[in-house]
Each structure stands twice: as C-alpha cells, then as structure tokens.
Amino acid sequence: MADFLKSQLDYIFFVYGAAFFLLIPLCLFLRQRPNCCRLAWGWLGWFGATHGANEWLDLLALSLDANPLFNLARVCLLIVSFVCLAEFGRASLSTMRGHGPGRWVLAAMVALAALGGLAMLPGVNAATRYGLGLVGGLWAARALFFAAKTLPIGASHLQAAAFGMTFYVLAAGLVPNPAPFFPASWLNYESFLDVTGVPIQLIRGLLAVWVSVSLCLVARSCLEAEQDLRQRAWFGNLMRGVITSLTLLVIGGWFITQYFGDIATREKEMIMSRLLK
C-alpha cells in the first residue's frame, strides 16, 4: 500500500492543490456577506490561491531535476501562503475582539522562519512550517472557532471548518521535510511514511478537502438566508459550475498525472540502463 500511495504522489498533490483553489470563490462570496461572518475572508482566499499553487509546484518538482532557483521559488511561495493564513487569523480576531497585535507580529514570525536558513533551504522550509504554518494556522483556526460562537446560521459547519483547519495545520506544521535539526530530523515526511505507510501529503489533502467542503456548507447556509433571489440564483449557478469544473479537473487530473508519470518513469529507466552499460 505504501508503494502504491508513493506512486500516486503526483495525483495527491494535484487534488491537494485543487482543494485549496476552491477556497477562492468561497471566500469571495463570504467576503460580501459581513452579516454572515465577520472574518478576513480575503486573506484566506489568498492563502488558498498561493498554497494551492505551491502544491502544484511540488507536483512539478516530482518530475524535474533539482534546480536551486525553482526550489527557492517554492519556499518563497510557501512563506507567502502561510503569511496570508496567519494574517487571516490575526485580522479576523482583531476585528471580532476589537484589539490584537499589529502586523509587526507577521514580520517577527517571518524572521524566526528565516533562521532556518542556517540549514539552507530544507531548514527554511521546516522552520517556515513550524513558525508560520503551525502558529499562524492555529491562529486562523482560533478565529474560525471564535466566529462560530456568534454566527447566526451555519455555526456547526464553521466549527467543522475550524476542526479541519486545526488538524490540517498540525499535519502541515509538525511534519516538514527532513532538516538537520530537531524535531525535523526526527519527525518528517520520510519517518512519517516509514511508520504509518501513508504519505503525509495524502492526509493533508483530505483535510484540505474537509475545510473547503465545510466552508462550502457555510456559504450555502448564508445563501439560504439571502433575501435577494437573483443573488441566490447567481451564486448557486456559480458554485455548481465551480464544483462541476473541479470534479472534471480531478478526474482528468488522474489521467494527466498518470500519463506524465509514466513518461518520467520510462525516462528514468532509460537513464539508469545507460549508466549501467
């Protein structure tokens, strides 16, 4: 099973990224409904866009040779995505409570993540997940829990999104790529796979789907309370179109990733056969 799941990593990354892209139309809709949820949905939408793009870059990395500039771009995009997630939590809680730290705290979090640079790019990647992904993500989950207490409709769905976000940031923040410092040298992608037989990316992808589906139900609850029938019809058609497109994308993505995965496998076999001659 572990070997099969490893062979499907490209498809897992594909679905993983698509789940985050679904956040974009959801956040655009919820942002226009301040009476439904007083949250900084714009920042969560930016997180969905940048983190989804980062996962698709990780998909490309499976088939590309190691390139320092490409790897640097991936780490930078990862940092940007987690900054957006942390800002979603900070801005949302500050708005709902009427007080909170300023954006300077984000600069402090980025500076701490940058200390991982002492261990080169793997160190920056791991430190970013600890300092920004885990801390900022729990901040975002706290904002969702707090909002659910005062939400007039769809509170249970928002609580489900909060639980999904909590589990996601634990999986994304506590299990980084291997790095030459504790705990990344002990708990990382490889050790998690060795112990469980399941790639952490699969668990993250399922949790991303959980969050997106929960927020989709929140949006539906807000839509059902919408008095403007034209708005209800417009958003209903939009969501049906988005879900249909993503479904086709997920189905088509399996064939695409299988096709290019087979090409990459054949190329590697050809290279190995030449080296052995």
Digitized pLDDT (tens) for each residue of the chain, 277 residues in all: 666 667 677 788 888 888 899 899 889 888 887 667 789 999 999 999 999 999 999 988 877 767 888 999 999 999 999 999 999 999 999 999 888 888 999 999 999 899 998 899 999 999 999 999 999 999 999 999 999 988 877 889 999 999 999 999 999 999 999 999 999 999 999 999 999 989 999 899 899 989 998 998 888 888 777 666 676 677 777 777 767 766 676 666 666 666 555 555 565 555 556 555 5
| Domain range for 97 | 2-276
Give me the pLDDT at residue 259, please.
57
141: left (phi over 0), alpha (psi -120 to 50) or beta: alpha
Taking the model in full, what pTM does it have?
0.87
Question: Distance between CA atoms of 116 and 156, rounded to whole angstroms?
Answer: 38
* Cβ-based neighbours of 118, under 8 Å, separated by 6 or more: none
List Cα–Cα distances, 192 to 3, 57, 107, 126, in angstroms.
14, 22, 31, 15
Question: Distance between CA atoms of 241 and 5, rounded to whole angstroms?
Answer: 30
Query: Closest by alpha carbon to 264, among 70, 15, 64?
Result: 64
3-state SS assignment for residue 178: coil
Give me the pLDDT at residue 151, please.
81
Give me the pLDDT at residue 54, please.
95
40 DSSP 8-state letter: -
Which residue type sits at 23? L
Give me the pLDDT at residue 142, please.
96
Which residue type sits at 197? G
117 DSSP 8-state letter: G
Query: Do 183 and 136 meet the contact criterion of CB atoms below 8 Å apart?
Result: no
Provide the token pair at 177: 């790529």
Provide the token pair at 113: 């993540």
Give me the pLDDT at residue 10, please.
78
119 DSSP 8-state letter: G
Give me the pLDDT at residue 8, please.
75
How many folded domains does the chain comprise? 1
Give me the pLDDT at residue 274, please.
57
CA angle 178, 184, 106 (to 5 degrees): 110
List Cα–Cα distances, 200 to 73, 92, 151, in angstroms.
22, 29, 33
Query: Do 39 and 88 meet the contact criterion of CB atoms below 8 Å apart?
Result: yes
67 DSSP 8-state letter: -
